[in-house]
Amino acid sequence: MNLEGTLFELFGFKEFRPGQKEIITSLLENKDTIGVLPTGTGKSLCYQFVGNILDGHVLIVSPLLSLMQDQVEQMKAKGEKSVVAINSFLNHDQKNVVIHSLASYKFIFISPEMLQVEYIFKKLQHLNISLFVIDEAHCISQWGYDFRTDYLKLGEIRKQLQSPLTLALTATATTEVTKDIILTLAIQQAAIYETTVDRPNIAIKTEFYEDMKAKQLAVISHLKNLEGPGIIYFSSKKLAEQTVELLKLHGITKVMAYHGGMTHEDRILIQQQFLYGQVDYICATSAFGMGINKEDIRFVIHFHMPLQMESYLQEIGRAGRDGKQSIAILLYANGDESLALQLAEGELPSLSQLDWLTHEIDHSVVKENVTKILTEEIRHRGGFTEIQWRVTLDYIQSHFDQHGTLNTIMNKFKNFVCTRRNLKIKKIFEMVNFIKKTDCKRNAILNHFGEPDLAHKISNCCDHCGLNLNDFHPIKSKSEEVKDEMKDWVWKLTKLLTPIDKGE
């Protein structure tokens, strides 16, 4: 088969990106496959391509709702109509309609919790599933930074689906994580394809400041000097918003905040404004960027450190997709790790919360009723955050049938929480070590993901090897644009509803 020909026919591209062809070939040879491809290098093309060739359905498990929605919308936008997402965004009626007509969809995205719903799963068992895709497969691993207990069940689920051809995808995986994926999914013969995590066109810089205010000044100065567009990542919504205000006071106007607290409509608008160059800079929380295919992002600034190397790599990887010179700058102030530790802490319930919960719930409860007992009311009384509560529910539900009583499960859960907490703390200190490292930053990243040092030095590598900030300044000054607010609304409306090229 001429894969390039099919690629052009289906997607309009002339050549594959690194790793894609190998993964597709492996799947077409009917081999279970693990693909480690950095975000934004076209992971989804792999299963779309294979799905178009094989008969039957492609079932894609994806843990992040927003990411799933984005993927489905992008596939639809590119003309793939036979795609559907089953997740908690659907209301009861919509879900029924979708489930009823499931057989008519080629690509079925599903969240792990929907896989646990019996009547949905029964329906899936009756379909001919030719490819089973696990996106963000690192969530399977206890060693992964985003371990999800409901992902552990995927092995059992795969078996009950008659062990279809399987593709596990992730952006980053250490050796331990890969081992866990193979074991859990029972794909011992799997072929593993990894591309290097190195992105040679992204220069890596770390800057040290006294405190938060000094970091804000640094952001102002960078935005005035660096070539845009760019993203500035924050750990706090409030600080992202405040910085936007501050930047505006300094005459940087094409800047917007973006975070999970905004409405869906606002988030889409800002994303699209950024995509079409109406906005140059986004001050965002990590919620931003997952679904965005913007090629020409010139810089990514981290106002706060990410909680682990994996996130850092994914976030800086949003720069320079067009292959042109770009830069990633991380701003560090002494004590920043305490905020990171605090955030990590908030993702898991505390031991005293769990003791309280153990005391509070009825121990004679049977599996079927356990979700009825763990109500929102209990969540509030125990002071669980949403994310803490999700972890708790997931764990109790997925471990209930295995061994005995609720008591033993709660004890196990406490051990689990301790292990997870230690792992998260370890990851934060790995991040701090990376920031403070005085050797080549690029090699540090490569080594972290099990790759050797670079063979040849590159220019504008990192602050240790040397980089020239002037190379990241714009060549020509930005031209003045016509002020939009000077136009009247009839003109604006007419522009929306008449062809753009008319009369040109």
Partner 1 sequence: MNQHLFSKIMNVLVGEKRVETYLSCLILSCLQKINGERTTYSIYHLLKGKKSSQTIQDAHLFNMTNLFQTFPQLSRNFFEEIIRDLNSKNYIQIVDVDKYKITTRGMAHLEQTLIKMPIPGALNGWKYHSIQEDFWKRLTLLIQVCSNLINYNSSYIPIQNDNKTSDWVKEILIKLSKKREELSNELLQEVINCLNTKDEIMPEVVVWRLTGHKQIGLTSVQVAELFKMDMNYFHLHFLSTIHYMIDRISASRNQYPILQNLLIDYQKPIVLTNSSLVTYRYLQLGYNIDEIASARNLKNSTIEDHIVEIALNETDFSLEPFVPIEVEHKIRVVIQKLNSKQLKMIRQELKENISYFQIRLVQARLGEPI
Residues of this chain that interact with partner 1 (CB under 8 A) are 69, 73-74, 77-79, 94, 213, 217, 220, 238, 242, 245-246, 249, 256, 264-266, 268-273, 275-276, 278, 484-485, 489-490, 492-501
CA 386 to chain CA mean position, Å: 19
For residue 180, the minimal CB distance to partner 1 (Å) is 34
For residue 465, the minimal CB distance to Zn ion (Å) is 3
Positions that interact with Zn ion (CB under 5 A): 440, 442, 461-462, 465
Instruction: Report the residue number, 318 or 442, with the smaller CB distance to Zn ion.
Output: 442
Instruction: Report the residue number, 8 or 429, with the smaller CB distance to partner 1.
Output: 8
For residue 249, the minimal CB distance to partner 1 (Å) is 6
Residues 463, 310: Cα–Cα separation, whole Å: 20
Residues 308, 312: Cα–Cα separation, whole Å: 6
Number of H helices, E strands in the chain: 21, 13
For residue 10, the minimal CB distance to partner 1 (Å) is 15
Q: Which does 461 bind (CB under 5 to 8 A by kind): Zn ion, partner 1, none?
A: Zn ion
Q: Which does 174 bind (CB under 5 to 8 A by kind): Zn ion, partner 1, none?
A: none
Q: Which does 486 bind (CB under 5 to 8 A by kind): Zn ion, partner 1, none?
A: none
Type of residue found at 115: L
For residue 458, the minimal CB distance to Zn ion (Å) is 8
CA 418 to chain CA mean position, Å: 25
Instruction: Report the residue number, 53 or 246, with the smaller CB distance to partner 1.
Output: 246
Q: Which does 313 bind (CB under 5 to 8 A by kind): partner 1, Zn ion, none?
A: none
Instruction: Report the residue number, 29 or 266, with the smaller CB distance to partner 1.
Output: 266
For residue 274, the minimal CB distance to partner 1 (Å) is 9
Q: Which does 192 bind (CB under 5 to 8 A by kind): partner 1, Zn ion, none?
A: none
CA 389 to chain CA mean position, Å: 21
Torsions phi, psi of 449, nearest 5?
-100, 25
CB 119 within 8 A of CB 45: no
Sequential DSSP letters for 109-123:
EE-HHHHT-HHHHHH
Helix (H, G, I), strand (E, B) or coil at 424: helix
Q: Which does 264 bind (CB under 5 to 8 A by kind): Zn ion, partner 1, none?
A: partner 1
Helix (H, G, I), strand (E, B) or coil at 167: strand
Instruction: Report the residue number, 125 or 253, with the smaller CB distance to partner 1.
Output: 253
For residue 168, the minimal CB distance to partner 1 (Å) is 28
Tell me the pairing of strands 83-86 and 202-209. Answer: unpaired
Q: Which does 380 bind (CB under 5 to 8 A by kind): Zn ion, partner 1, none?
A: none
Burial class of 167 by CB neighbour count within 10 A (0 to 12, 13 to 18, 19+): buried
Residues 358, 33: Cα–Cα separation, whole Å: 41
Tell me the pairing of strands 202-209 and 326-333. Answer: parallel
